[in-house]
Chains A and B, each alone.
Chain A
Amino acid sequence: MQGQAVVPPEVEHVLTSPPQHTPRAEHLEPFLQAAREVLELELGTSVQRGKLQLWQGSQTTQDITVIIGITGELTGLAIYGLSEATALAAISRMMGTAIEELDDLALSGIAELGNCIAGRATTLLGDRGIVANIAPPVLLQGAGSRISTAGIMCLVVPLATDVGTIEAQLAIKGR
């Protein structure tokens, strides 16, 4: 991943007095809650949230990266990155059978996982009076590509599951 990591105390400072293009904690929490709910239901796994980090600059993709555009009162990107091994283990659980290759159907399932998390997050945001919508997911296969978040800082949270770690990145700003 490119950019400069900010240690947690500084993250906390930024979150309590966010500049214009920094995601806010109140926007992050619905995405984390949604990830926990969806991963528990789809993969039957508990989810342990790792250390929150704040990144500036472009992001670098993992083996599999799902990107979902957010529009409405929040704009930006929700990005979910995972290794090929984690993706295979996840889709195997979703399909109820061992999957050994990430074909188009399997990749569609991984993209749908991201879609469900982002969709659920917008529902939770709606409960807080924030109207947001999502675009169809885009899936990138292959590590090392750079994703620009157009000047929006990115909150990064590793989500540890039974099938491996899924890295959630949130680069959104409110209007």
Chain B
Amino acid sequence: MTLILIADDAAFMRMRCGRMLTEHGFEVVEAENGREAVEKYQALKPDVVLLDITMPEMDGLQALRAIKAIDPQARVGMVTALGQQQVVMEALQAGARDFVVKPFQPERVLAAVEKLLR
């Protein structure tokens, strides 16, 4: 089964994304911050990572760089309330392959996961 790692400090967002992806047949694992996301990536090697940016301990951009350092082929998408052009560019330059801005329609996250898996 395809494993998706969702990293977001908001339990509500993890629940919302997790429920939607589970309903579409994906297996989901959660992380509450960037540090935990990096640890879980290293341990579980998920097929796709969805990273929030504004998180305590380690933010999503730092986690993105750490995950790409572990695995340059890691398939990572950002799911964040921050949509400034410079943030989007920074994430894409660091190796993110998609960028979803909150709030979003559920189908947008599903489309991002499917794009990352292609």
Q: Do A and B come from one complex?
A: yes
Contact for B54 among A42, A115, A123, CB less than 8 A: A115
Q: Which of A96-128 contact B (CB under 8 A)?
A: 104-106, 108-109, 111-112, 115-116, 118-120, 122-123, 126
Does A133 count as interface, using CB distance less than 8 angstroms? yes
Q: How large is the interface on B (under 10, 10 to 19, 20 to 34, 35 or more residues)?
A: 10 to 19
Q: How far is the CA of A94 from the CA of B104 in the complex (A)?
A: 12
Q: Which of B11-67 contact A (CB under 8 A)?
A: 11-13, 15, 54-56
Contact for A120 among B9, B13, B81, B86, CB less than 8 A: B81
Q: Decide if A111 touches B86 in the complex (CB within 8 Å).
A: no
Does B92 count as interface, using CB distance less than 8 angstroms? no
Q: Decide if B84 touches A38 in the complex (CB within 8 Å).
A: no
Does A85 count as interface, using CB distance less than 8 angstroms? no
Does A134 count as interface, using CB distance less than 8 angstroms? yes
Q: How far is the CA of A116 from the CA of B16 in the complex (A)?
A: 14
Residue of B nearest to A40 (CB): B103
Main secondary structure of the interface of A (DSSP, over half): helix
Main secondary structure of the interface of B (DSSP, over half): loop
Q: How far is the CA of A79 from the CA of B83 in the complex (A)?
A: 20
Chain A 128-141, CB-CB to B under 8 Å as 1, else 0, gives 00010111100000
Does B111 count as interface, using CB distance less than 8 angstroms? no
**How far does the Cβ of B81 sit from chain A's closest Cβ, in whole Å?**
2
Contact for B56 among A108, A116, A131, A136, CB less than 8 A: A136
Q: Decide if B103 touches A109 in the complex (CB within 8 Å).
A: no
- Tell me whether A109 and B82 are in contact in the complex, defined as CB-CB below 8 angstroms, given that A38-B103, A41-B103 are known contacts: no
Chain B 82-118, CB-CB to A under 8 Å as 1, else 0, gives 1111100000000000000111000000000000000
Q: Decide if A115 touches B10 in the complex (CB within 8 Å).
A: yes
Contact for A136 among B9, B83, B86, B101, CB less than 8 A: B9
Q: Decide if B9 touches A122 in the complex (CB within 8 Å).
A: no
Q: How far is the CA of A123 from the CA of B102 in the complex (A)?
A: 11
Contact for B11 among A41, A104, A119, A136, CB less than 8 A: A104
Interface residues of B (CB under 8 A from A): 9-13, 15, 54-56, 80-86, 101-103
Additional A-B contact list (7), CB under 8 Å, known A104-B11, A108-B10: A38-B103, A41-B103, A115-B10, A115-B81, A119-B83, A134-B81, A136-B56
